[in-house]
Structures are given as structure tokens and as C-alpha cells.
Amino acid sequence: MQRIVTFLTFKDKAEEAVKFYTTLFTNSQILDTTYYGEEGPGPAGSVLSVTFQLDGQEYIAMNGGPYFEFNPSVSLFVKCETQGEIDRLWEKLSLDGEEQGPGWVRDKFGLSWQIVPTVLGEYLSDPDQEKSQRVMNAMLQMNKLDIEQLKQAYERK
């Protein structure tokens, strides 16, 4: 059982967002949905919250009303092994959303995601500061991160 669970509060599209997110990752599913009763505060029978898993990680999404908005200070960080995975997630998450900068995209529900190749951490933490700085400079020129371009920057002499 997961002890700490990320709780995401949407204005009114929690169920739609969760259905979308669970199509993006393997080992993902909706676990439970709760609904408002007659006492509200939302309309009776409308979705209050959805408990779900993305790649085995549990989350809860709730419809909180019009005063809830996401901002980039909270994002979901996705480690990607391949460029194909980066490309697929970037395309799906940026559709009707917004590219926010190197590796960052805001989806159509307002949630920010970081779509990052796993190798980036290795490159940026290399003890050779010249190598890591070249990678940082290359990364800062990108929106969607490109593993091959990062590798070329890392290996350049």
C-alpha cells in the first residue's frame, strides 16, 4: 500500500483528465470514483473524486470548483527511456495544451508535466563540468527534449 499519494484538484474535469491520463501509461487504471450526494456542494450524482494509478503509482483527482487552478510550481516528472516515448507523450500532452520550455508541457487540463529522458540526469551530473554545461546549453534551446542532440552535446570534444 502506498503511504503518500499525490492529490490533484481540478476545477471540474477530474474524471475526463483521469480517463485521458490512464490511456497514456501502461499499468494504469481507475480504481474508484466517488460522487456528490444530495448535500453537495457539487450537483448530486456528479463526480467528486477519482482514485487511479499511472504506471502503478496511485493518485487522487478531485473536482474542487472554479477557484482551483494548477500552475507550473507542481508538475509530474516522467522519466523516459526512449525518444519514441518522449515523442508520444509530448504529442498527446501538448495537444490543446502548451509547450512551456525545456521538457515541460502543460496539458489541456492545466497540469504541467516534465517529459525527460533518463539519460539527462547522468549527463547533467557528470563531474566534467564542461560536458554537463554543454548538455545544459543544448537542453535550454529545446522545447521537447531530444536524446540524440543531448548525446551529441555530451560527447562533443
Tell whether 29 and 54 lie within a shared domain.
yes
H helices present in 3-141, as ranges? 14-24, 83-94, 119-124, 129-139
pTM of the model: 0.93
The tens-digit pLDDT sequence of the chain (157 residues) is 789 999 999 999 999 999 999 999 999 999 999 999 998 788 899 999 999 999 999 999 999 988 899 999 999 999 999 999 999 999 999 999 999 999 999 999 999 999 999 999 999 999 999 999 999 999 999 999 999 999 999 998 6
- Which of 46, 69, 92 is the last residue in one of the domains? 69
Tell whether 55 and 121 lie within a shared domain.
no
- Distance between CA 28 and CA 22 in Å, rounded? 5
- Which of 17, 50, 69 is the last residue in one of the domains? 69
Exposed e or buried b for every residue in 91-119, given b needs 16+ CB within 10 A? Answer: ebbbeebeebebbbbbbbbbbbbbbbbeb
Tell whether 75 and 60 lie within a shared domain.
no
CATH number of the domain residue 42 falls in: 3.30.720.100
Tell whether 141 and 108 lie within a shared domain.
yes
Cβ atoms of 37 and 44 within 8 Å: the answer is yes
Q: In the chain, where do the E strands start and end?
A: 6-10, 29-35, 47-54, 57-63, 75-80, 98-101, 104-106, 112-117
- Which of 16, 41, 69 is the last residue in one of the domains? 69
Tell whether 76 and 61 lie within a shared domain.
no
Which set of grid coordinates corresponds to residue 150? 543531448
Which set of grid coordinates corresponds to residue 79? 522519466
The total number of structural domains in the chain stands at: 2
Structural domain containing residue 80: 70-157
